[in-house]
Homo-oligomer: A and B are copies of this chain.
Amino acid sequence: MIAQAVGMTKAGLYHHISGKQDLLYQILNHAMDELDRIVTAPPVRLIEDPEERLRQLMRLQIQGEISHGLAFVVLFSEINHLAPAQQKEIRGRIKEHHALIRETLRELAEGERLRNLDVNIATMHIMNAMTGVARWKYQDFASDEENLVHETVAYTMAALLKPEP
């Protein structure tokens, strides 16, 4: 009935959907490969100070999205369109990325530098801010890449860290 409604044969619709799913799956896997390579590889992961680690992670991810091939992260929000097994795999990879951010926030909390906040929700806000930026790259205010990176890191750090005494 859906096939009829969109003017396709049933076989054509299956072919169409599974072709689109495979393409999206490959793109999202590629985006995760690049995220691992550019952002979460050892140089960042091994930065000792958690605040500096988070700042550097954000800088690299945002710069990557604007000009170094990480723009595909905007497609993370399409993940529901994948087949279940594909969803599971990509969600697992995204969770690893979240875990790095969450652990960094926990370290900040242990050092009494984090505000009194929900670490899981804050992690989602940080990720959401970074993937959001990838969608703004064609807007006027995003033309100054350095400023956009600076403002986004400063905004996030102000949300997270206790004010300096």
Which residues of chain A have a CB within 8 Å of any CB of chain B?
A: 5-9, 11-13, 15-16, 19-20, 74, 77, 115, 117-118, 120-122, 124-125, 128-129, 132, 135-136, 139, 141, 147-148, 151-152, 154-156, 158-160, 163
Tally of this chain's copies: 2
Q: What are 16 A-B pairs at a CB distance below 8 A?
A: A6-B12, A6-B16, A6-B20, A7-B13, A8-B12, A74-B77, A117-B151, A118-B147, A121-B148, A121-B155, A122-B151, A124-B136, A125-B155, A128-B132, A129-B129, A132-B132
- Shortest C-beta distance, A124 to chain B (Å), equals 6
- Kindly list chain B residues whose C-beta atoms are within 8 Å of the C-beta of A74: 77
Extra A-B contacts (9), CB below 8 Å, given A124-B136, A124-B139, A158-B160: A6-B12, A6-B19, A7-B11, A77-B77, A124-B141, A125-B129, A125-B152, A128-B132, A132-B132
Residues of B within 8 A of A77 (CB): 74, 77, 135
Of the residues B16, B120, B147, contact of A8 by C-beta under 8 Å:
B16
**A129-B129, A135-B77 are contacts. A155–B117 as well, Cβ < 8 Å?**
yes
Which B residues touch A155, using CB under 8 A? 117, 121-122, 125, 159
